[in-house]
Chain A
Amino acid sequence: MIVNEKIAIDHGLKKDEYKKICELLKRTPNMTELGIFSAMWNEHCSYKSSRLHLKKLPTKGKQVIQGPGENAGVIDIGDNDAIVFKIESHNHPSFIEPYQGAATGVGGIMRDVFTMGARPIANLNSIHFGSSQHKKTKNLLRGVVHGIGGYGNCMGVPTIAGQTSFDSSYNGNILVNAMTLGLVKKDKIFYSKAAGLNKPVIYVGSKTGRDGIHGASMASASFDDKIEEKKPTVQVGDPFTEKLLLEACLELMEGDSIIAIQDMGAAGLTSSSIEMASKGNLGIEINLNKVPCRETKMTPYEIMLSESQERMLIVLENGKEEQAKKIFDKWNLDFAVIGKTTKSKKIELFFDSEKVADIPVNTLVENSPMYDRKWKKAKLPKKNKINKDDINNLKIIQVLKKILANPNICSKEWIWQQYDHTVMGDTIQKPGGDSGVVRVHGSNKAVAASVDSSAVYCWAHPLTGGKQVVCESFRNLVSVGAKPIAITNCLNFGSPENEENMGEFVECVQGIGEASSYLKFPVVSGNVSFYNQTKDQGIKPTPSIGGVGLINDYTKMITMDFKEVDNVVLVIGKTEGHIDQSLFARVILDEKNGPPPEINLFNEKNNGETVLKLIDSNFIKSAHDISLGGIITAVSKMCIKGNKGINLKKPKYLISEIEYFFAEDQGRYIVEISKKDQKKVIDILNKNAVHYDDLGTINENMLFLNEKTKVTIDELKGFNTKWLKEYMRN
């Protein structure tokens, strides 16, 4: 078939992009070459709309070994140990085929981590669905949860934390973001930069099939009515093969035969070979007849664009082929020398003794399009119509019950009980806490990780929302006693071609940048997912932040369950009564206007660091950050988890009880301390200029405000735990 502009447009390329390809090549590309360009130049692989803005993020820090640009970010956690981590989206395929979409998302992110030589030690995920009333939600949720579990459980990597939300803006575009942490020795990190001439290029893992062709292009476009027809673009996962691939790769990595290694993820063999060549400033020559294929008569075009899973590309030292092959034979995996590095700086493909593609690498990478998309500054939030007198007449306990049973607050046990969260024998904080925590095997250290997003805040005011998510991640790590080190981000937005959506992106990124820079919490890896959009309807802007922190002595880890009757409970941080955009305003008052709570970065940092000091001095018995649902929701969860009650008292502020208990002001924590330490703790708080309120004391089993306002913890637990299970099993 002769390539023309129409075919190029069918491949998702724009008119001028096609023109540019012809200019760069000084000729018309053939079909295989066009396929390669379309795979490399789509939004998913080229970051053409986001690159300009991502450059502004802070990516350096004392503990950063590798920032964005590699398969994953790497941070130093001392003693020659390093943590490799990244979050990635698999939104589009998960909506089309929830089980395989989610499963291969998990598989893909684990490969990104073990490609770098790290054994995966923890998985996390952030998943977002449409309204619980929407007809597709239940099946999508079930499929995604089964898919995540199906892959992660089989790999034997614990899924230690996550986040699930429901919002009608995801009715037509769900989000599935998967994150993996791996552990590696600092001097055994592997990179994707090829080096040296005439080095063998090796293909290992599964055979190549016709699945997932154009997957990355599909993920770079909005959905329409015919989206179901895209099912063949969804990859099919085989976690068993990936487990073998993991063990085989790590075994090979014990030696010194690997020069560069890269997993075949989005755009498969195309992007992996081109990235390795590009980073090494080399050329690569591949004989496509040597690629192990699962199906007969696959064309060069199909082989290059397949997104079959569980495959890796390796540049090996000369003469190490036999030794390497033995390892892959042992694990029953394909191993094929398919090409070599060259000095041509071109990607040259051969098939049936014919040259089927000949493209200078720089045209695909450095010359790929980059757009400074038009964007609109977000409008200032509208004023809300909340009548203070009305809300003060509401009954606190009634409101609390409704909020605890709300899909966005309720216990997600139904989900995380389907994930193996204890395999590897080092999980010391399970899902359901502020962060998941795993020990660094055989040491006293532990790594904490959490994943957060606050789409409603980002939607109401993207700049503030962007800052807030980073701060929430910081707080979730602090709450378990971990020192926050770095983040990875997954930026889920609508179409960048829409000025409002692009504006949301630009301002959220700015907010993320400001907060992570102030908190010294740099971004070391991440991914952008645009076009989460069906026709004209985009999702709420949803940047997911995956935060990683370190606990030097794991016996000092903190959990959120209340520990002991008569202990004192404090609120750290000031409550101003910010109700706008709170869960309370949206769920109870049905009020969607108003700004999100403001972020004071000084207070965030100061409050967080002071809580860490208190933890380090062994004063804190339990801790929990205050987020959705405010103080009373946070404290209820601590009661439910610890099977204890609390005698609450509201400090004598000007704001009402309802405002005090349900406001979502930022930078706050709830901590439990013993009475005997109270004076010392308060001294430390005062010395560090940290505001605190005395919230009450712990009792046996009752949340108690006054004679009329009380409820047993068992009753609250019922409201909190029932909803999801009943929703899914009915």
Chain B
Amino acid sequence: MRSAVITFPGSNCDRDMDVALKKFGFKNKMVWHQDVELPKSDLVVLPGGFSYGDYLRCGSMASKSKIMQSVINFANSGGLVMGICNGFQILVETGLVPGVLLRNKYLEFICKNVFVKISDKDSAYFKNIKNDVLELHIAHNEGNYFCTNDQLKEIEDNAQVAINYCNNEGKIEKSFNPNGSIKNIAGIFNKEKNVLGMMPHPERMIDSSLSGEDGSLFFKNLINNIK
């Protein structure tokens, strides 16, 4: 399976994602933001970091960079595009997924393990995954997902919510929400569910020596679904 990770100036989880994808069997290529064409890929990943410093709205500069037109075309033709953290912020800026990401409640960067409940197992990303709850890691300043009531209704009607913050038993409550996101949303799909944006970093949870191994479950399942 072939994957591509886009490096924007200021990306800093691009190497980590490369390591993770290769570990689980992807043939991964790194793609520079000024390239025009994507290599042949089964999966395109927009990694975490601070693209262009995020001095403007997070992800807004990156969403306009050269390579993004190809990424958008790839997504619109049904290709799998996954945005993690800053990648999620870039996706909302392109409009590939609805909503926006505001600054965290308390206006503080948060780096810690969280639990997320998989809300929809219909997509290539979560189909066949055994667990309902994953322990993943977050590290962000702007992960407070927000959208209008109309958008929320549409998202829910289309089952576009991918994962919600919860406790270890899968209970979705305000007290388990680290950043104030609407309805505890941690990740969402586009309507067709080939595009996934999420705040948690599965690539940081791929080894028992790290924060945990639920990221491994995610990647193993993902590559099996694509095969």
B211 interface residue per 8 A CB criterion:
yes
Within 8 A of B (CB), among A452-507: none
User: Given A153, A156, A425, which contacts B109 in the complex, CB threshold below 8 Å?
Assistant: A153
A425-B19, A425-B203 known; A418+B111 contact, CB < 8 A: yes
B25, CB-defined interface residue at 8 Å: no
Judging by beta carbons under 8 Å apart, are B12 and A155 in contact?
yes
Cβ of B126 within 8 Å of any chain A Cβ, yes or no, is no
Q: Is B171's CB within 8 Å of the partner chain A?
A: no
Of the residues B9, B106, B110, B112, contact of A244 by C-beta under 8 Å? B9
Interface 1/0s, chain A 213-255, versus B by CB < 8 A? 0000000000000000000000000111101100000000000
Interface residue? B37 (CB, 8 A): no
- Whether A243 contacts B12 by the Cβ 8 Å rule is yes
In the complex with contacts A240-B53, A418-B111, A425-B204, A331-B106 CB distance below 8 A: no
Indicate if A424 sits at the interface (CB-CB under 8 A). yes
A238 contacts B9, CB within 8 Å?
Answer: no
Give the docked Cα–Cα distance between A729 and B210 (Å): 30
A428-B209, A439-B209 known; A729+B106 contact, CB < 8 A: yes
Q: Which of A154, A239, A419: most chain B Cβ within 10 A? A: A154
Q: Are B209 and A422 in contact (CB under 8 A)?
A: no
Contact between B108 and A422 (Cβ–Cβ < 8 Å)? no
B210 x A422 contact (CB < 8 A)? yes
B34 CB to closest chain A CB, in angstroms?
A: 8
Q: A241-273, CB under 8 A of B: which get 1 and which 0?
A: 101100000000000000000000000000000
A418 touching B109 by the CB < 8 A rule? yes
Residue numbers in A under 8 Å from B19 (CB-CB): 425
Q: Which residues of A contact B141 (CB under 8 A)?
A: 153
Q: Does A647 contact B (CB under 8 A)?
A: no
Contact for B139 among A153, A238, A557, CB less than 8 A: A153
Most chain A beta-carbon neighbours within 10 Å: one of B19, B108, B111: B111
By the criterion CB–CB under 8 Å, are A156 and B13 in contact?
yes
* Mask of B7-49 contacts with A, CB within 8 angstroms, 1/0: 0011011011001100000000000000000000000000011
Give the complex CA separation of A729 and B108 in angstroms: 11
A420→B204 CA distance, assembly (Å): 12
Partner of A425, one of B10, B106, B108, B206: B206
A427 pairs with B210, CB closer than 8 A: yes
Chain A residues whose C-beta falls within 8 Å of the C-beta of B201 in the assembled complex: 422
CA distance A463 to B210 in the complex (A): 40
Q: Is the CB–CB distance between B210 and A331 below 8 Å?
A: no
Q: How far is the CA of A150 from the CA of B54 in the complex (A)?
A: 11
The listed residue (A156, A240, A555, A557) touching B55 by CB distance below 8 A is A240
Could you tell me the distance between the alpha carbons of A421 and B112 in the complex, rounded to whole angstroms? 9
Query: Are B111 and A154 within 8 A (Cβ)?
Result: no
Which of the residues B12, B20, B209 comes within 8 Å of A555, measured between beta carbons?
B209
| Pick from B52, B111, B209, B210: contact of A240, CB under 8 Å | B52
| Measured CA separation A312–B210 after assembly (Å) | 35
Point out the residue from A240, A421, A555 that lies within 8 Å of B10, measured CB to CB.
A240
Are the CB atoms of B53 and A149 closer together than 8 Å? no
Instruction: Provide the residues of chain B in CB contact with A239, threshold 8 Å.
Output: 50, 53
**Cα–Cα, bound, A419→B139 (Å):** 8
A551-565 at interface with B (beta carbon < 8 Å): 554-555, 557
A155 CA / B139 CA spacing, docked (Å): 13
**A-chain residues with CB within 8 Å of residue B52 when the two chains form the complex:** 240
Give min CB distance, B164 to chain A, whole Å. 21
Interface residues of A in 425-455 (CB under 8 A from B): 425-428, 430, 439
Instruction: Give Cα A419–Cα B48 distance, bound, in whole angstroms.
Output: 15
Q: B110–A422 contact, CB under 8 A? A: no
Residue of B13, B49, B111, B210 near A417 (CB, 8 A) is B111
CA distance A423 to B109 in the complex (A): 14
Interchain CB contact under 8 A, B210 and A243: no
Query: Is A332 at the interface (CB under 8 A from chain B)?
Result: yes
A422→B211 contact, CB < 8 A: yes
List which B91-109 residues lie within 8 A (CB) of chain A. Answer: 106, 108-109
Within the complex, what minimum Cβ distance (angstroms) separates B141 from chain A?
8
A419 with B210: CB separation less than 8 A: no
Inter-chain contacts of B55 with A (CB < 8 A) = 240
Question: Residue B137 at the A interface, CB < 8 A?
Answer: yes
Q: How far is the CB of B208 from chain A (nearest CB, A)?
A: 9
Chain B residues with Cβ below 8 Å from A425 are 16, 19-20, 203-204, 206-207, 210
Over the window 329-342 of chain A, the binary record of Cβ atoms lying under 8 Å from chain B Cβ atoms (1 yes, 0 no) is 00110000000000
A139 to chain B, nearest CB (A): 14
* Complex-state Cα separation, A417 to B139, whole angstroms: 9
- Which residues does chain A contribute within 8 Å of B210, judged by CB atoms? 422, 425-428
B53 and A422: CB pair below 8 A?
A: no
For the complex, what is the distance from the CA of A536 to the CA of B141, rounded to whole Å?
41
B135 to chain A, nearest CB (A): 13
Chain A nearest CB, measured from B134 CB (Å) = 16
Separation of A439 and B210 alpha carbons in the complex (Å): 10
Q: State how many angstroms separate the Cβ of B116 from the closest Cβ of chain A.
A: 16
A240 to B53, CA, bound (A): 5
* A75 CB, min distance to chain B CBs, angstroms: 23
Q: How far is the CA of A276 from the CA of B4 in the complex (A)?
A: 42
Contact B50 A243 (CB under 8 A): yes
B16 pairs with A240, CB closer than 8 A: no
Residues of A within 8 A of B49 (CB): 156
Give complex CA distance A557, B209 in Å: 10
User: Is A331 within 8 A of B109, CB to CB?
Assistant: no
The answer to whether B111 touches A420 (Cβ under 8 A) is yes
Least Cβ–Cβ distance between B114 and chain A, in angstroms: 11
Closest-by-CB residue of B relative to A333 is B9
| Chain B 115-153 interface 0/1 with A at a Cβ cutoff of 8 Å (1 = within) | 000000000000000000000010101000000000000
Q: Which residues of A contact B137 (CB under 8 A)?
A: 422
Q: Which residue of A lies closest to B19 (CB)?
A: A425
CB-nearest residue of chain A to B32: A330
- Given contacts A156-B49, A240-B50, A240-B52, whether A424 and B106 have CB atoms under 8 Å apart is no
A533 to B209, CA, bound (A): 44
A384-421 residues with Cβ-Cβ distance < 8 A to B are 416-421
- Residues of chain A within 8 A (CB-CB) of B53 are 154, 238-241
Chain B residues within 8 Å of A332, by CB: 9
Q: Which partner residue on chain B sits nearest A424 by CB separation? A: B16
**Residues of the A chain whose Cβ atoms lie less than 8 Å from the Cβ of B110:** 417-418
Cβ B206 vs Cβ A422 within 8 A: no
List of B residues within 8 angstroms of A417 by Cβ: 108-112
Q: Which single residue of chain A is at the shortest CB-CB distance from B201?
A: A422
> Which residues of chain A are within 8 angstroms of B12 by Cβ–Cβ distance?
154-156, 243, 423
Q: CB-CB < 8 A to B203: which residues of A?
A: 425
Q: How far is the CB of B38 from chain A (nearest CB, A)?
A: 20
Q: How far is the CB of A561 from chain B (nearest CB, A)?
A: 14
User: B199 to chain A: closest CB distance in Å?
Assistant: 13
> Could you tell me the distance between the alpha carbons of A426 and B13 in the complex, rounded to whole angstroms?
12
Q: How far is the CB of A105 from chain B (nearest CB, A)?
A: 17
CA distance A428 to B206 in the complex (A): 12
Closest approach, in angstroms, between the C-beta of B58 and any C-beta of chain A? 11
Q: Taking A154-B50, A240-B52, A418-B111 as contacts, is the C-beta distance between A423 and B10 under 8 angstroms?
A: no
Asked if A424 contacts B15 (CB within 8 A), the reply is yes
Q: Mark A70-97, 1 if CB is under 8 A from B, else 0.
A: 0000000000000000000000000000
A555 to B208, CA, bound (A): 10
A-B contact pairs, 27 of them (CB 8 A): A149-B109, A150-B109, A153-B141, A154-B10, A154-B12, A238-B53, A239-B50, A239-B53, A240-B53, A243-B10, A243-B12, A244-B10, A331-B9, A416-B111, A417-B109, A417-B111, A417-B112, A418-B109, A422-B111, A422-B137, A422-B210, A422-B211, A423-B13, A423-B16, A425-B19, A430-B211, A555-B209
- For the complex of A and B, list the 10 residue pairs with the smallest distance between their C-beta atoms, beginning with the closest: A156-B12, A240-B53, A425-B16, A154-B50, A420-B139, A418-B109, A428-B209, A422-B204, A420-B111, A149-B109
Binding site for B on A (CB under 8 A): 146, 149-150, 153-156, 238-241, 243-244, 331-332, 416-428, 430, 439, 554-555, 557, 729
6 A-B pairs besides A423-B204, A430-B211 with CB distance below 8 A are A156-B12, A332-B9, A422-B201, A422-B210, A425-B206, A439-B209
